[in-house]
């Protein structure tokens, strides 16, 4: 009797969800939910109502239909590596975790496609096809753990997106569960220009607000015949950034063109993969070219020449794949390594026209001085994607707020030179208000109208991606919809 009574205490919604996914595939006790209170953006935390682990599209659709019919807020989650809080439950959401949908469903080498489930880990794809000489290009730093479903939601980039483009350039088709539970297929036929509206582009990077992706057809690429990697040390950040502009101006399209400043270098040298960068340099460039072997030598020569012309202190070409890998491991620990030199850090993510780097770096220095917080800079220099890393100590009262303010100021500096508030980490809850730096109310309203098409009750990932529209927009909307008779 007692046992039965206990069972009855379980929320009826939870019982319904159990019917869909099975008892073993749901977490709902507070102690089990703690690991789901945030993603890689740890500033804000809140518990979901439950976390469910569907095994296939049908279960996802059934879960979504249930939430839709019962007006329960819900959201999808991959590996939880997102950096802008896109998977944080703000309204006691049901979290639909996709980590158990992790199959590589098919590889079609002849037509260069692979089909994966959303919970499939990014790097696993390359590992599965590399013996045949293929790879999957988008390579976010978290690629050894992040999922391709999450990559689609965030339109993830990576160090090599300069030459190869971001996730949206590598997605050929999607199966999507819409917020009312209907399943649609988009793209997939490999057309360079798919007929109708570009729903695939719309869904990709929509940060989980338009639908839940349950199957993904991606483009796979033939591994380049060769790669050459250069490490160049500069005594002056501005000279380093001038070298970046000149490399691009020379017509070279490097596969990657990364820059780190002194504080960032201090971090990676204190991290898991130090490589012995000189401690007193102001910046390094990590430059990689790939392609047909015969053309690489000439490109490397041109790169070295450009670096020399900007007074590079030292420049070296990786002598082996092992050395190249070490340099990249060192670079890829860039964010995490900040933990070695600071109790806490906040990653920011702005975009600037490449040519404006020196002045933006000066403004970031000013922000650093004003806030009293150190700021390291990691820069996907080739495409102008700047990551200021704001170092702080959350145990010191007020310092978290200071860090957040400094982050916002960095984004404002990017927007002020005609840049953007995010290059690859998304908006999530972190940068909702900063959307106003680059969009007018009308432009935000146009995007919200699109969200309403897919997600009319705003049950899917509520409170993400957009600031609350100002009151005056409601008035404007009425005006816009009023159709007068003859002017």
Considering the rule CB under 8 A, would residue 192 count as an interface residue with a second copy?
Answer: yes
In terms of CB distance, is 337 or 409 closer to a second copy?
409
Considering the rule CB under 8 A, would residue 457 count as an interface residue with a second copy?
Answer: yes
- Whole-number Å distance between alpha carbons of 137 and 222: 10
Q: Which of 389, 419, 429, 460 binds a second copy (CB under 8 A)?
A: 419
Q: 19-58: which residues touch a second copy (CB under 8 A)? A: none
- Residue 451 CB, shortest distance to a second copy, in Å, is 8
Q: 80-139: which residues touch a second copy (CB under 8 A)? A: 109-112, 133
Q: With both helix axes pointing from N to C terminus, report the angle between 441-454 and 471-481 in degrees, rounded to the nearest 10.
A: 70
Residue 76's closest CA among 139, 152, 14, 21? 152
- Residue 420 CB, shortest distance to a second copy, in Å, is 4
In terms of CB distance, is 122 or 299 closer to a second copy?
299
Considering the rule CB under 8 A, would residue 206 count as an interface residue with a second copy?
Answer: yes
Size of the site for a second copy (CB under 8 A): 107
Q: Which of 32, 70, 280, 309 binds a second copy (CB under 8 A)?
A: 70
Q: 215-244: which residues touch a second copy (CB under 8 A)? A: 222-225
Considering the rule CB under 8 A, would residue 10 count as an interface residue with a second copy?
Answer: no
Considering the rule CB under 8 A, would residue 298 count as an interface residue with a second copy?
Answer: yes
Q: Which of 57, 97, 214, 299 binds a second copy (CB under 8 A)?
A: 299
In terms of CB distance, is 267 or 419 closer to a second copy?
419
- Residue 439 CB, shortest distance to a second copy, in Å, is 7
In terms of CB distance, is 188 or 267 closer to a second copy?
188
- Whole-number Å distance between alpha carbons of 182 and 152: 19
- Spatial neighbors of 272 by CB under 8 A, at least 6 apart, are 329, 333, 336, 337
Site string for a second copy, 342-361 (x = CB under 8 A): ---------x-xxx------
Considering the rule CB under 8 A, would residue 274 count as an interface residue with a second copy?
Answer: no
In terms of CB distance, is 29 or 132 closer to a second copy?
132
Interface region with a second copy, contact rule CB under 8 A, candidates 115-123, 184-192, 272-280, 396-404 = 184-192
- Residue 161 CB, shortest distance to a second copy, in Å, is 6
Report CA-CA distances (Å) from 86 to 60, 83, 181, 253: 19, 8, 21, 32
Site string for a second copy, 364-383 (x = CB under 8 A): -------------------x
- Whole-number Å distance between alpha carbons of 8 and 4: 6
Considering the rule CB under 8 A, would residue 474 count as an interface residue with a second copy?
Answer: no
Considering the rule CB under 8 A, would residue 450 count as an interface residue with a second copy?
Answer: yes
- Whole-number Å distance between alpha carbons of 316 and 294: 19
Considering the rule CB under 8 A, would residue 16 count as an interface residue with a second copy?
Answer: yes
Q: Which of 49, 68, 160, 242 binds a second copy (CB under 8 A)?
A: 68
Considering the rule CB under 8 A, would residue 484 count as an interface residue with a second copy?
Answer: yes
Q: 243-272: which residues touch a second copy (CB under 8 A)? A: 245, 248-252
Considering the rule CB under 8 A, would residue 170 count as an interface residue with a second copy?
Answer: no
In terms of CB distance, is 99 or 171 closer to a second copy?
171
In terms of CB distance, is 281 or 351 closer to a second copy?
351
- Residue 434 CB, shortest distance to a second copy, in Å, is 9
């Amino acid at each position: 009797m007692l046992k039965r009574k206990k069972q009855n205490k379980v929320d009826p919604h939870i019982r319904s969800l159990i019917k869909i996914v099975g008892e073993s595939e749901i977490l709902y006790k507070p102690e089990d939910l703690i690991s789901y209170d945030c993603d890689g953006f740890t500033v804000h935390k809140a518990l979901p109502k439950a976390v469910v682990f569907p095994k296939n599209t049908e279960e996802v659709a059934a879960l979504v239909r249930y939430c839709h019919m019962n007006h329960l807020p819900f959201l999808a989650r991959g590996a939880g590596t997102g950096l802008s809080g896109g998977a944080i439950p703000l309204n006691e959401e049901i979290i639909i975790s996709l980590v158990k949908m992790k199959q590589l469903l098919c590889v079609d080498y002849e037509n260069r496609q692979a089909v994966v489930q959303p919970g499939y880990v990014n790097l696993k794809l390359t590992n599965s096809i590399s013996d045949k000489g293929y790879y999957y290009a988008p390579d976010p730093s978290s690629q050894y753990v992040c999922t391709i479903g999450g990559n689609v939601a965030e339109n993830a980039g990576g160090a090599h997106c300069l030459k190869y483009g971001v996730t949206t350039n590598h997605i050929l088709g999607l199966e999507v569960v819409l917020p009312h539970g209907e399943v649609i297929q988009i793209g997939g036929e490999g057309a360079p220009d798919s007929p109708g509206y570009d729903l695939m582009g719309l869904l990709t990077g929509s940060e989980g607000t338009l639908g839940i992706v349950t199957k993904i057809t991606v483009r796979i690429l033939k591994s380049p015949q060769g790669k050459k990697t250069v490490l160049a040390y500069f005594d002056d950040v501005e000279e380093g950034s001038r070298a970046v502009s000149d490399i691009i101006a020379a017509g070279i399209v490097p596969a990657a063109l990364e820059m780190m400043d002194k504080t960032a270098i201090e971090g990676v040298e204190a991290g898991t993969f130090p490589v012995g960068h000189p401690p007193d340099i102001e910046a390094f460039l990590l430059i990689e070219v790939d392609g047909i072997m015969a053309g690489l030598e000439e490109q490397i020569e041109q790169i070295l020449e450009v670096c020399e012309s900007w007074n590079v202190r030292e420049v070296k070409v990786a002598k082996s794949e092992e050395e190249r890998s070490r340099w990249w491991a060192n670079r890829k620990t860039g964010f995490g390594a900040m933990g070695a030199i600071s109790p806490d850090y906040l990653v920011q993510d702005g975009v600037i026209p490449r040519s404006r780097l020196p002045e933006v770096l000066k403004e970031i220095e000013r922000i650093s001085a004003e806030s009293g917080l150190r700021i390291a800079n990691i820069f996907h220099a080739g495409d102008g994607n700047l990551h200021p890393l704001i170092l702080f100590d959350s145990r010191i009262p007020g310092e978290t707020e200071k860090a957040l303010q400094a982050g916002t100021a960095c984004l404002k500096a990017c927007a002020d030179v005609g840049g953007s508030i995010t290059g690859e980490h998304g908006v999530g809850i972190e940068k909702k208000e900063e959307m106003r730096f680059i969009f007018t109310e009308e432009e935000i309203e146009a995007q919200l109208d699109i969200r309403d098409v897919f997600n009319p009750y705003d049950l899917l990932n509520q409170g993400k991606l957009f600031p609350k529209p100002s009151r005056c927009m409601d008035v404007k909307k009425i005006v816009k919809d009023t159709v007068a008779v003859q002017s």
